[in-house]
Structure 1
């Protein structure tokens, strides 16, 4: 039977893998965007936040003296999800990518909400503060993606109806 602390650390490692996956997906999305400068800029800003989040999550792992060599690689858990969102090459990929980005941000919000509760249960106030800070960034990104989804959708539709104009990226 696993202790609360063991479950917590397992979930923290999952969160680290989730942030690695997020960085990869966001980089792929940003690299393909050509005609949606606001979306590209916000994604690039969130890539920097994501990199900082990885360091913060790793600091929690390090505080528990968990050897990096025994940390399981959980990236595979999210890779199928990430490929579904990050690897789209469909005609309407910018719209589907924006929708998927919002879904992933909400997944991260839920993950950090659970981690905050677990950190509270094991009386780890430092981790509560770290995960609360990260969750606020994820909430801000989710709110931004939801607020801008209509604009991205309409820009795509206008571009797709204009002869000789590429709408895809």
Structure 2
């Protein structure tokens, strides 16, 4: 493959990744009942993610790239499977918080690579977009890691109390 073909493929991957993130964030947000700070941050990042999808679609359209419906559908199915699997865990909120942080790291690595690829193929118009998205992903990852101890502590307190739901 040429550098241009790889870049185009990675753009389709990024679009599918963000569609997966949108599905995961929607599912997670709808299931959080007892952790209002986490729910608010997830909802904020969901809005950012929806904006990121639009920005990626603009980059894809500007580059004359066809979208991969298969990649988008597969990523959404993976998100649904992860969401359903988490529903059965007694510590769903902690596992979801950890998974969220890990996924943010994957997105950070993906956009770091896309920036390098865009520069290599001369798509300088997209570099700023990827840097903007990268900053949002880094902010979410930082928030998730910083707040993981708080979510964990809240879960442990709720889980130890009789008659109090802790998992979500």
TM over 0.5: yes
Gaps of 5+ in 1: none
- The superposition leaves residues 45-73 of structure 1 with CA deviations (integer Å, 9 ceiling, x where unpaired) of 000000000000011110012245xx452
Moved over 2 A (4+): 75-87
- The superposition leaves residues 119-157 of structure 1 with CA deviations (integer Å, 9 ceiling, x where unpaired) of 010111111111110000000000000000000000000
Matches within 5 A, 1:27-106: 27-68=26-67, 71-75=68-72, 78=75, 82-83=79-80, 85-87=82-84, 88-89=86-87, 90-106=89-105
Q: Secondary structure at the match of 2:70?
A: coil
Q: Which moved more, 1:128-137 or 1:81-90?
A: 81-90
- TM-score, normalised via structure 1 length: 0.93
CA positional deviation for 1:80: 6.7
Matching residue of 1:9: 8
Matches within 5 A, 1:147-166: 147-166=146-165
Q: 1:72 to 1:78 in 2, by over 3 A?
A: closer
CA positional deviation for 1:77: 5.2
Cα root mean square deviation, aligned: 1.5
Gaps of 5+ in 2: none
Q: How many equivalent pairs are there? A: 166
